[in-house]
A = this chain, B = another copy of it.
Amino acid sequence: MDYKNSANFYKNELLNNVVPFWENHSKDEEFGGYFTCLDREGKVFDTDKFIWLQSREVWMFSTLFNKVEQKQQWLDMALHGAKFLQKFGHDGNLNWFFSLTRDGKPLVQPYNIFSDCFATMAFGQLYKATQDEEFGQMARNTFRNILKRSENPKGKFNKLVSGTRPLKGFSLPMILCNLSLEIEHLLPKAMVDETIEKVIQEVMEVFYQPDSGMILENVKPDGSFSDSFEGRLLNPGHAIEAMWFIMDLSFRLKRQNLAEKAVEIVLRTLEHGWDEKYDGIFYFLDIKGNPPQQLEWDQKLWWVHIETLISLIKGYALTGNEKCLNWFEKVHNYTWSHFADSEHGEWFGYLNRRGEVLLPLKGGKWKGCFHVPRGLFQIWKTLEILK
């Protein structure tokens, strides 16, 4: 593998294809914030504003400014979204709505704690770019609110009868692995250290199952297996994505064995989650091989594949495990020949099991300016170290 060429390829796709796509199509000049429901050509087909995606785009442009080049247009783009978020995104107590109308009226209540997580990331990264204390406060206070809500994230919107089948979800500890490093510049060191140790333990010892070698989406409070739809659920992309957060932590903490373990989990999950018949990684599986509840289980999603590429290349950089490199090439080939749209730029998000385009959108309720550019950036930078 020619690392230098590959690094340039990822860099070029980031800077000359994907970032311009969002710069050209997503800015709402009239009402502020971003459009994210964009069709194949980048045309807006719906104007609702989802806090996940508004926040992620603020984060992405701030990150580009902080880590690639201090371009004013990137900072302006980030500020454009941040102003909209500050004004309309939360309920006054930093509980972040799930979605807003184009002009900022709240549509869906703050039931989803990941809105808050992405808002924290956005303002944390924007604070780095601007040193504007207002943004710092917003990130810090939202983060404290997340920790406060973390035991019962859905609050009054939780439809489960408490006590009958208590389960813990993987998503929040997983995202905290990433978030704790994202905003460590804003928190007391002791708090960061404590959070990091806690989430590593959760991910690697509670959700990780030694017998299968995989990570479950939901486990009993003590980490044991629940033989229920929720308990049997595997989300390979999720588990693999979490492993590069763990790798980043292993690098920071200089814990080589943590990196080795993360690589092992990536490879095991990939072997289990790979579709031998049509290639690509399944979206959901039942660990016992039963039919999952998710009708979209066999679809191939953009974020699953780009996150896997990040984990594989980071895994190789950290451990030198050749299997990572072999898998990287295989997933790279699948990804670029199926998701990338050579005609209109950016990537398709949703393919069916056979790898055919299922929805011809470039952005929607869940796909925005985030996984693709973040992944291209991460892979470019990792390949650069290798070259």
Residues of A within 8 A of B (CB): 39, 45-46, 48, 97-98, 101, 105-109, 111, 156-157, 159-161, 164-165, 228-229, 288, 290-293, 295-299, 350, 352-353, 358-361, 364-365
Interface of chain A, helix or strand or loop or mixed? Answer: loop
User: What residues of B have a CB within 8 angstroms of the CB of A353 in the complex?
Assistant: 352
Which residue of the partner chain B has the closest CB to A295?
Answer: B296
Q: A107-B165, A108-B160 are in contact. List 12 more A-B contacts (CB 8 A).
A: A48-B229, A97-B161, A107-B161, A108-B159, A109-B161, A157-B157, A157-B159, A229-B365, A291-B360, A292-B359, A295-B359, A298-B352
Which residue of the partner chain B has the closest CB to A163?
Answer: B105
Give complex CA distance A147, B291 in Å.
Answer: 36
Query: Once the chains bind, are A364 and B299 in contact (CB under 8 Å)?
Result: no
Give complex CA distance A364, B106 in Å.
Answer: 35
User: What residues of B have a CB within 8 angstroms of the CB of A160 in the complex?
Assistant: 107-109
Give complex CA distance A360, B297 in Å.
Answer: 13
Quick one: given A108-B161, A159-B98, are A291 and B45 in contact (CB under 8 Å)? yes
User: What residues of B have a CB within 8 angstroms of the CB of A359 in the complex?
Assistant: 291-292, 295, 297
Query: Once the chains bind, are B164 and A101 in contact (CB under 8 Å)?
Result: yes
Query: Once the chains bind, are A165 and B98 in contact (CB under 8 Å)?
Result: no
User: What residues of B have a CB within 8 angstroms of the CB of A164 in the complex?
Assistant: 101, 105-107
Q: Can you pick out 30 interface pairs between chain A and chain B where the beta carbons lie within 8 Å of each other?
A: A39-B290, A39-B291, A45-B288, A45-B290, A45-B291, A46-B229, A46-B290, A48-B229, A97-B161, A98-B159, A101-B165, A105-B164, A107-B161, A108-B160, A108-B161, A109-B159, A109-B160, A156-B156, A291-B359, A291-B364, A292-B359, A293-B364, A293-B365, A295-B296, A295-B350, A295-B359, A296-B296, A297-B359, A298-B352, A352-B352
User: What residues of B have a CB within 8 angstroms of the CB of A288 in the complex?
Assistant: 45
| Minimum C-beta distance from A151 to chain B (A) | 18
Query: Once the chains bind, are A228 and B46 in contact (CB under 8 Å)?
Result: yes
| Minimum C-beta distance from A245 to chain B (A) | 25
| Minimum C-beta distance from A316 to chain B (A) | 32
Query: Once the chains bind, are B291 and A295 in contact (CB under 8 Å)?
Result: no
User: What residues of B have a CB within 8 angstroms of the CB of A111 in the complex?
Assistant: 159
Give complex CA distance A165, B101 in Å.
Answer: 9
Give complex CA distance A159, B109 in Å.
Answer: 5
User: What residues of B have a CB within 8 angstroms of the CB of A299 in the complex?
Assistant: 295
Query: Once the chains bind, are B295 and A358 in contact (CB under 8 Å)?
Result: yes
